[in-house]
Structure 1
Amino acid sequence: MTDERKKALNLLKTSKGQIEGIIKMLENDRYCVDISKQILAVQGLLKKSNLNILDAHIKSCVKEAILEGHGDEKIDEIINVLDKYIK
């Protein structure tokens, strides 16, 4: 497992814990703004995790495909993901 994948895994595990905390906050009828802030924090972790995965992909799979002369397909894949990420 690459360092970027390890980082992504740790971020996802942290997100999982935060989501469990958010569920408890809802069950305990906590203040809406506090819940919203926690949801935004999880979204940030998920985005960062996704960027780590994409970083590893670009540095390995995409780089290899380019060196082998067939990188267009991999580049298109990344562009499609980034397009969804930006929206």
Structure 2
Amino acid sequence: MRLGWAILAGILLGGGVAWWTSRDTPADIERKQARAAAARAADAEDARPVLYRWRDAQGRLQVTDQPPKGRRYERVDREPRPGIEVHGDRE
């Protein structure tokens, strides 16, 4: 009977040690939260509808919904950021 208790105690002790060594520390949790927040921000920025402004070989300004291949371009938001007022009646 004592052997049974010793085996049970060893299993419980081993499980406790395995849990303790595999858990996240507060620093790990903080790093994971920061990484998740950065990923959410990047996803939100990529999800915004954008246009691409660039110049063709003749120097004419082009605005397209697909970026040009092999040319420098600038991303332009289709929608203003929150807090920016847009008045279409003003010039």
TM-score band w.r.t. shorter chain: 0.3 to 0.5
Structure index of larger Rg: 2
Higher relative contact order, chain-length normalized (CA < 8 Å, sep 6+): 1
Structure with bigger strand share is 2
* TM-score w.r.t. length of structure 1: 0.35
Structure with bigger helix share is 1
* TM-score w.r.t. length of structure 2: 0.34
